Amino acid sequence: MNTTIRILIDENAGGVIAKELAKMSGINAVFVGDLSDLRGRSDDHVWSYAKKESRIVLSLDSDFSRFNHPVCTHHGIIRFKTRKYDPARVEAFKKFALSGHRVEARQSITYLYDDRFKIETCEGVYENKYE
């Protein structure tokens, strides 16, 4: 099974996060801010691009939720739910990526907190602390 995940990093997640994720193995990340036809565009445009390119959207935006995008109808959403800024968000993502659960982010909605992650899948909800 291929464990590389393809991610589209929303502008609100920021360039710092994009640079750090680009360094990680098993992550194929593209930053919206680096794409001239997406930079500054609406969430709908970002969403369409992610679907067309089979990418998981990584965002802080609450519009990327199960209410607007039901589980198992897309390639995936990862949302930061940490109250801290870039270094803590990068750390939370790294811990999640190394947890052995990153492939479960496909077709799911994953929430990354400071100390844990939660994944909503077609089968139900899975929550675990980072190890």
How many whole angstroms from its chain centre is CA 72?
15
Full pLDDT tens readout for the chain, 131 residues: 677 899 999 998 888 899 998 888 889 999 999 999 999 998 889 999 999 999 999 998 888 877 787 788 889 999 998 877 788 899 999 999 888 888 889 899 999 999 999 999 989 998 999 87
Can you tell me the distance from the alpha carbon of 43 to that of 45, in angstroms, rounded to the nearest whole number? 5
In angstroms, the CA 105 to CA 40 distance is: 26
Length of the chain: 131
Which pLDDT score is estimated for 83? 75
Nearest to 34 by CA among 53, 56, 19: 19
Would strands 109-112 and 116-120 be described as parallel, antiparallel, or unpaired? antiparallel
Instruction: Please give the pLDDT value at position 111.
Output: 95
Phi, psi (deg, nearest 5) at residue 9: -90, 115
Please give the model's pTM, rounded to 2 decimal places. 0.91
Domain ranges of the chain: 5-129
CB atoms within 10 A of CB 20: 19
